[in-house]
Structure 1
Amino acid sequence: MPPKRTKPHTVGSASFDPDKFFDEWTSERAPQGNNLQTAVIDAFNLKSTDDYVYHAIASVTLPQVQSAINHGASNGMHAWYLYDDAKKRDAPPSADIKAYTDIFLSTTVITKALTAFAANAKKESTRAEVAKHLQSNLHLPPTSSKLALPSKLKVPHKNPYLDYWIWSCQCLEWTGPTPGTAMIQQSHHILPVLYHHFGCVCPTYDALSLVQQVCRGSNKNDASKSIVEVGSGNGYWAYLLRRIGLTVHAVDNEASLWRTTWIGDTIIADGISFLHSPPGPYKELGKGANNAVLLLVYPQVTADFTGKVIRAYEGDTIIVAGTQNTNGFTAFKGETIAEWMARERPEYERIWQIPLPSFAGKDEAFFIFKRVV
C-alpha cells in the first residue's frame, strides 16, 4: 500500500507550493483589519472572483464569510462569554486578547506567559477566568523529566496558521476558553476557511518541539522514531513536523475534502487496519505500529474512532491534539481524552497537557501519554 502520490495543492490556485509559501511568509501576510477575503486570495493565489464553497460546520464562500465579519458582533456573533442568566458579557479589551495570543508565541515560554496572563488580570474579569481555567488544566512532568519546553526563540518560528488565528482572536473578540466554553454550540463563518486551508487545530512551536523530543528520545545514539498520524487530514501538522526533520507517515481515509493539501504522499487507508498490520513498505513500524509514535490531531468522535485507533496501537507514546473539555468536538462525547485514557488505558500515563490556540468558542490542548506498564 504505497502512499497516494499527488502534488500538494490548493483548489482554485494554479500555483501552490508549500515550501515557497513558507519561504515567502511573513506575519504581515495575515489579514489586516477585518479583510480576510483579500488576505486568503492573495496568500493562496486565488481569483478575485473566487466562489469556492467551504464545507465544514457550515457551507460558506469567501464573500459570505467577509460579510459575516463586516457585521461584527451583531446578532450574537461574538457571544462567547455569558453571565449565568445567559446575558452577554462586555467584550474583552484588545490588550487582554493580545496577552492571550502571546502565550502561544515561539518567542515566549508558555508557563511564564500563563503566569503573567493571570497576574495581570483584573479581578473577576473574563481574562482572570480564562487564566484560571488554562492553569487548572496544565499538566507538566516533574523537573527530572527528559522532556522540556523549548527555550524561547529570538526569531519567531514560521507558522502561517498561528498568524491567521491571532488575527481571528482580535476580529472575534476572543480571549480564550473558560469552563463555560464547554456549553457553547455556536461558531463563526471564519472557521471553515481556517479548517480548509490549515486544518482543525493550530500547532505551536512548543507542541512541535515536544513531538520532536519524544521521537528522538534521551539517547542521542538511538535512531529517531517515526510518527504515524492517523486521520492526517490535509497534512498541515505532518508538513510542519517534517520541516523539523521528523518522519511522518500520514494516514487518512479521505472521508473529508480539503481546499489546501500540504503534503503529496498521504497513505489512503483505514487507520485502524493500518495499525493492526502495517502493509509492505511500513512493516518496520511493527504490529500495532509498536515502533512508532501515534499522533491524533482532532480525532473524530463518531463510530468510536478514537477508541478503536488507540486500542489498535501497541507502541509506547500517544500524542493527541484536541479538545480538553467535554463538549464532544473531538475524541469522546461527554468526557475528555484524559479521563478516557485513565479508565480505559491505565497503562499509559498522561505526562504532558498544555493549551493549544483555541478558535473562538473552542478549548483545545496538546496531550502526551506514555506507557508506564
Structure 2
Amino acid sequence: MALRNFGPDALLGEWTDEKYNPKHNGKSFEESIRAAFNIPKSDNYVYRAQGETTLAITQRAIDGKRVHGMHDWYHDENRELSDPAHPSPDEISAYASLFSPAVSLPKTLNAFKASSKPRTIRAHISNHLQGRFHNTTTGLIPAKKDRFHINPYLSLWTYSCDELEWAGPWPNTVHTKIAHHILPVFYHHFGCIVPTYAALHVVAKLAQPAKPSKENVRPVLDIGSGNGYWSFMLRSFPLLENMKTLDVRPIDNGLSEYRVSWVADTIREDGISYLNNHDGGKGCVLLLVYPQATGNFTGPVLKAFKGDSIVVAGTQNGNGFTAFRDEVVDEWVERELKEFELTLRMPLPSFAGKDEALFVFQRKAK
C-alpha cells in the first residue's frame, strides 16, 4: 500500500544530503528513510523484490557489513573472489562521480579509464564501461558545466556504493546471483533504476520538436512507469532556455505494488492498449524504464510503437534481468526492429551486483 502522507514536491524541495543522506547526516539508513518519507518506527511494512525485507531487517544487514558474503560483488564465473576482493574507497568514489550532473560523460569515462591502475578492480570496471559505451548522436549528452541537480535517488544510491563497497560493474557481474536488502527498499521508494541528469537530458532533448516554432513537444510515453519516479524527475527537470515544456505521460497497469507514488496521474492502462488507442505513439518518444523480462511485455510494446525514438533504461549485460531473458535489448532490436538503429548506449548508476545502461534507438532515415 502506498504511503498516504508522502508529498513528492515537498521532499524534492527540502532535500539535502545533510538532512537525508546517511553518509552525511549521522543517521542510519533506516532512520533516514523513515525521516524522508514520514514512516513511523512502528511501521513494519514488508518490501518484496528479489526477496522480502523490512526497514529494520535491512538495517541489520547493513550493520553486518561483509557477513555472509554480502559485499562479495567481485568474483569470476565460478564465484571465486578477485584479489583484492573489495574496491578501495577511492575506486568507489571515482565510479560514483561518473554520474555527477556537472560532467561530460564521454570525457569522464575516458579519464576514468586513463587514470585506472593496471590489474585493479577499477581497471576492469573502466574497460567494461568504456567498451559498452556507444554514441553516434550529437547534442543528446550534456556538456560539462557547473550545475546542481537535486536527485534523491542518486544521492542515496551514492551512499549505497560506499556502504556496500561497490565500485561499478565488470564483465563477471553477469554471473552475480546475490543482492542486498537495500535493493527492495530502493525499488519501492524510487523504482528499479536511477535516472541521472544526463539520462533525463537525453529524454528531454529527444522530446523537442524539429521545428519548435511550428510543432508541439513530442510526448514522452513512460510505459510501465511503476511508481512514477522517472516521470516525476522528467517533469521537474531544469530545461534549457530553448527547450519546450515536457509532456510526460506515466502509463502503468498497476499490477505491481510500490510503497511510494511520485505522480498522481498515472494512466491505468497496459502499454499495448494505450499505443493501439493513440496511433501507435506516432510523434512520441517511448520510454521503457526497467521493462520486465517475463510475461512477453517488451517485444510487443516495441513492435507496436510507431514513433521515431525509443529509450530503454535497463540491463546491459546478459543476466536476463530486464527486457528479455536470453539477450540484451540492443541485440533484440538489431534483429527484430531493423527500421531502428542504436544511437546511444551509456552507463547508468548500477546498484551493487547489477550492470545498467540507457539505450536510445532511433528510426533510420529513409
Post-superposition offset of 1:113? 1.6
Whether 1:369 aligns to 2:361 is yes
Q: Indicate which of 331, 344, 353 corresponds to 1:339.
A: 331
DSSP-derived class of the 2:126 partner: helix
Kept in 1: contact 2:128–2:169 (CA 8 A): yes
2:135 maps to which residue? 140
1:239-258 per-position Cα deviation (integer Å, ceiling 9, x unaligned): 11111331111111111000
DSSP-derived class of the 1:67 partner: helix
1:334-361 per-position Cα deviation (integer Å, ceiling 9, x unaligned): 2111100000001001111110000000
1:226 maps to which residue? 219
Post-superposition offset of 1:170? 0.6
Give the Cα separation in 2 of the matches to 1:153 and 1:34: 32
Percent same amino acid among aligned pairs?
44
Whether 1:112 aligns to 2:107 is yes
Where does structure 2 lack aligned partners over 5 or more consecutive residues? Answer: 238-244
Give the Cα separation in 1 of the matches to 2:70 and 2:129: 24
Post-superposition offset of 1:84? 5.9
2:250 maps to which residue? 250
Alpha carbons of structure 1 residues 101 and 350: separation in structure 2 relative to 1, 3 Å: same
Post-superposition offset of 1:369? 0.5
DSSP-derived class of the 2:310 partner: strand
Whether 1:328 aligns to 2:320 is yes
Kept in 1: contact 2:76–2:172 (CA 8 A): no
Q: Indicate which of 29, 32, 41 corresponds to 1:39.
A: 32
1:26 maps to which residue? 16
Whether 1:81 aligns to 2:74 is yes
2:288 maps to which residue? 296
DSSP-derived class of the 2:286 partner: strand
DSSP-derived class of the 1:224 partner: coil
Number of residue pairs matched?
352
Alpha carbons of structure 1 residues 77 and 140: separation in structure 2 relative to 1, 3 Å: same
Kept in 2: contact 1:34–1:171 (CA 8 A): no
Give the Cα separation in 2 of the matches to 1:148 and 1:229: 19
Q: Which residue identity is paired with 2:184?
A: P
Kept in 1: contact 2:65–2:164 (CA 8 A): yes
2:242 maps to which residue? none
DSSP-derived class of the 1:64 partner: helix
The runs of 4+ residues in structure 1 deviating greater than 4 Å are none
Alpha carbons of structure 1 residues 34 and 67: separation in structure 2 relative to 1, 3 Å: farther
1:80-122 per-position Cα deviation (integer Å, ceiling 9, x unaligned): 1014663223210001100000000102211122112111211
Kept in 2: contact 1:293–1:319 (CA 8 A): yes
1:356 maps to which residue? 348
Kept in 2: contact 1:187–1:360 (CA 8 A): yes
Q: Indicate which of 44, 47, 53 corresponds to 2:46.
A: 53
Where does structure 1 lack aligned partners over 5 or more consecutive residues? Answer: 1-8, 279-286
1:32-77 per-position Cα deviation (integer Å, ceiling 9, x unaligned): 3682101101111111222111111111110000000011011111
Give the Cα separation in 2 of the matches to 1:84 and 1:305: 29
Post-superposition offset of 1:185? 1.4
Give the Cα separation in 1 of the matches to 2:42 and 2:233: 30
TM-score under structure 1 length normalisation: 0.91
76-85 vs 34-43, greater mean Cα deviation: 76-85
Post-superposition offset of 1:215? 0.6
2:240 maps to which residue? none
Q: Which residue identity is paired with 2:180?
A: H
DSSP-derived class of the 2:34 partner: helix
Kept in 2: contact 1:34–1:70 (CA 8 A): no
Give the Cα separation in 1 of the matches to 2:72 and 2:27: 18
Give the Cα separation in 1 of the matches to 2:150 and 2:341: 32
Kept in 1: contact 2:77–2:175 (CA 8 A): no
Kept in 1: contact 2:289–2:312 (CA 8 A): yes
Alpha carbons of structure 1 residues 85 and 215: separation in structure 2 relative to 1, 3 Å: closer
Post-superposition offset of 1:10? 4.9
Give the Cα separation in 2 of the matches to 1:170 and 1:238: 27
1:184 maps to which residue? 176
Kept in 2: contact 1:34–1:69 (CA 8 A): no
Alpha carbons of structure 1 residues 193 and 45: separation in structure 2 relative to 1, 3 Å: same
2:153 maps to which residue? 161
Alpha carbons of structure 1 residues 346 and 75: separation in structure 2 relative to 1, 3 Å: same
Whether 1:318 aligns to 2:310 is yes
Whether 1:151 aligns to 2:143 is yes
2:86 maps to which residue? 91
Q: Which residue identity is paired with 2:220?
A: I
